[in-house]
């Protein structure tokens, strides 16, 4: 990755509370080889700027079944911005 021009804000940021279903390859963690459903709790603004605008770090909870309460396993994962559905986007971007 080329950081010659400095940090770049992600081109898409999910809204807190959004539930995302991510295909393998659309997310990175210790095991990004399966489909993952996660409820977004927040965005890691401090490190999201270092992925060329194409990836964003989120904090959230894995959802194993619809309507699951309390939240499932807490996770911090890197997700591909292109995998965020338009209906799940935050109104503002990171700056």
CA gyration radius, the chain: 13
CB 35 within 8 A of CB 89: no
| Token representation of residue 4 | 């010659």
pLDDT at residue 68, rounded to an integer: 62
pTM of the model: 0.81
Task: Give pLDDT tens digits along the chain (95 positions).
Answer: 555 567 899 999 999 999 999 999 999 987 768 899 999 999 998 899 999 999 999 999 988 876 666 667 789 999 999 999 999 998 765 55
Residues with Cβ within 8 Å of residue 24, at least 6 apart in sequence: 32, 33, 34, 35
What is the three-class DSSP state of 52? Answer: coil
Query: What does the longest C-alpha to C-alpha distance in the chain come to?
Result: 44
pLDDT at residue 70, rounded to an integer: 64
């Amino acid at each position: 990755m080329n950081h010659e021009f400095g940090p770049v804000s992600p081109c898409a940021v999910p809204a807190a509370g959004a539930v995302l279903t991510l295909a393998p390859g659309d997310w990175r963690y210790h095991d990004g080889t399966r489909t993952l459903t996660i409820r977004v709790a927040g965005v890691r603004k401090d490190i999201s700027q270092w992925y060329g605008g194409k990836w964003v770090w989120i904090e959230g909870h894995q959802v194993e079944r619809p309507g699951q309460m309390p939240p499932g396993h807490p996770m911090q994962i890197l997700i591909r911005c292109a995998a965020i559905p338009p209906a799940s986007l935050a109104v503002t971007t990171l700056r």
